[in-house]
């Protein structure tokens, strides 16, 4: 079975679907299998390995939701508390609750967040609270009354990050790295919010001949794209303005480890999209696409991470699961 999965991952690279890719499969005891193929950096021909960090974008929301539940278990907040109890300055009124934010039922708007990034070179001077304040001024009105509809919102999860900062008395990233991730026995080489100091992270790429590249000037910031490398356009290293809604940088095995911890602790698992027999969370933006999938009943988790903007990662996981099924080892 593993040989067939290896071959499939290599084919994705050879057929030009992605420069590089990671896959991991885990049960409640540990990693069953992992494999990587392709390149973390095309120009330097640097191989993709299982330890190569990639941007996770919205897959980060699973960790943000878990971080909120850590605070709840410590007794520092209740999920049905009003957000205004902790962030009275936010513009969405007194009726929005923490649980509604976690479940995307707060009615908060969700404008396209592709411009909510900044170059890695500007990160040290970046002012996240000021960036959130500007966003809230621009999108200050609810789209729906809280609790009446499910409406995905990056702003909602950005506010959850500020909630953590307020309640924990330290920046969201610090609390996640010092409390939430260690509680799940996850180290900074597996999931973090900054690129490795040695620069070993994967570079992100956009397909040159794609609709996304055609629309790029309308959707992304200037300076985000670099040189062309064959059929790929290099995306410059950057950070998401709100780490709570999309700032994680990690590996497929690291995210499987997070899912395994949620399985073993019986965590409610906010932050997921729900399927018939599983929950999953996709992440994607400039240069990367990934997905984490968790089967509660079978207690299996799988993750795929790639450094291509447009790769259909849901199809990748479906295909790999079909391989496992045909080989009689379905999760």
Q: Is 44 exposed, middle or buried (0-12, 13-18, 19+ CB in 10 A)?
A: exposed
- CATH of residue 151: 3.40.710.10
Mean pLDDT is lowest, of 31-40, 210-219, 257-266, for: 210-219
Query: CA 223, CA 40: separation in Å to the nearest integer?
Result: 21
Query: CA 324, CA 331: separation in Å to the nearest integer?
Result: 8
Q: What is the pTM of this model?
A: 0.94
Whole-number percent of the chain with pLDDT over 70: 95
- The pLDDT of residue 330 is 43
Task: pLDDT band for 218, please (50, 70, 90 cuts).
Answer: low
Mean pLDDT of 59-87: 97
Indicate the number of domains in the chain: 1
SS3 303: strand
- The pLDDT of residue 112 is 86
pLDDT at residue 329 is higher than 60: no
Mean pLDDT of 9-21: 97
Range of the domain at 175: 1-331
215 CB neighbour count, 10 Å cutoff: 11
Mean pLDDT is lowest, of 90-99, 203-212, 304-313, for: 203-212
pLDDT at residue 331 is higher than 50: no
**H/E stretch holding 295:** strand 288-295
pLDDT at residue 188 is higher than 70: yes
Mean pLDDT of 215-219: 65
- The pLDDT of residue 296 is 80
- The pLDDT of residue 214 is 64
Helices (H), the chain: 2-14, 60-73, 98-102, 128-138, 154-168, 172-175, 181-183, 211-219, 243-246, 252-265, 313-326
Question: Which long-range contacts does 308-311 make (Cβ < 8 Å, 24+ apart)?
Answer: 308/17, 308/18, 308/19, 308/205, 308/206, 308/207, 308/232, 309/204, 309/205, 309/206, 309/207, 309/210, 309/212, 309/235, 309/284, 309/285, 310/206, 310/207, 310/210, 310/212, 311/12, 311/17, 311/18, 311/21
Task: pLDDT band for 43, please (50, 70, 90 cuts).
Answer: very high
pLDDT at residue 48 is higher than 60: yes
Edge to edge, what strands does the sheet with 191-192 contain? Answer: 54-55, 249-250, 191-192
Q: pLDDT digit string (tens) for 150-161? A: 999 999 999 999
Task: pLDDT band for 15, please (50, 70, 90 cuts).
Answer: very high
pLDDT at residue 177 is higher than 60: yes
- The pLDDT of residue 105 is 97
Mean pLDDT of 297-305: 91
pLDDT at residue 185 is higher than 90: yes
């Amino acid at each position: 079975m593993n040989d067939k999965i290896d071959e499939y991952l290599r084919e994705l690279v050879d057929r030009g679907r992605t420069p590089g890719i990671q896959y991991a499969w885990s049960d409640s005891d540990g990693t069953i299998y992992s494999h990587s193929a392709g390149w973390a950096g095309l120009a330097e021909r640097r191989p993709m390995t299982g330890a190569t960090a990639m941007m996770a974008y919205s897959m980060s929301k699973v960790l943000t939701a878990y971080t909120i539940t850590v605070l709840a278990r410590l007794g520092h907040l209740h999920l049905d508390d009003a957000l205004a109890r902790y962030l009275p300055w936010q513009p969405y009124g007194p009726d929005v609750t923490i649980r509604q934010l976690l479940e995307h039922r707060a009615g908060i708007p969700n404008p396209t967040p592709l411009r909510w990034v900044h170059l890695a070179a500007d990160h040290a001077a970046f002012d996240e609270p000021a960036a959130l304040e500007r966003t809230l001024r621009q999108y200050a009105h609810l789209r729906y009354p809280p609790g009446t509809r499910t409406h995905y919102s990056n702003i909602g999860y950005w506010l959850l990050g500020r909630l953590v900062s307020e309640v924990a008395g330290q920046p969201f990233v610090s609390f996640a790295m010092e409390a939430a991730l260690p509680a799940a026995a996850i180290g900074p080489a597996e999931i973090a919010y900054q690129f490795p100091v040695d620069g070993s992270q994967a570079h992100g790429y956009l397909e040159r001949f794609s609709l996304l590249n055609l629309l790029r000037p309308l959707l992304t910031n200037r300076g985000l794209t670099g040189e062309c490398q064959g059929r790929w356009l290099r995306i410059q290293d950057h950070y998401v303005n709100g780490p709570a809604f999309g700032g994680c940088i990690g590996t497929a095995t690291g995210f499987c480890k997070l899912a395994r911890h949620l399985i073993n602790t019986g965590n409610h698992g906010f932050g997921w999209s729900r399927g018939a027999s599983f929950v999953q969370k996709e992440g994607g933006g400039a240069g990367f696409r990934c997905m984490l999938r968790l089967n509660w009943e079978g207690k299996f988790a799988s993750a795929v991470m790639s450094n291509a903007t447009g790769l259909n990662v849901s199809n990748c996981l479906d295909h790999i699961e079909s391989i496992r099924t045909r080989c009689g080892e379905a999760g």
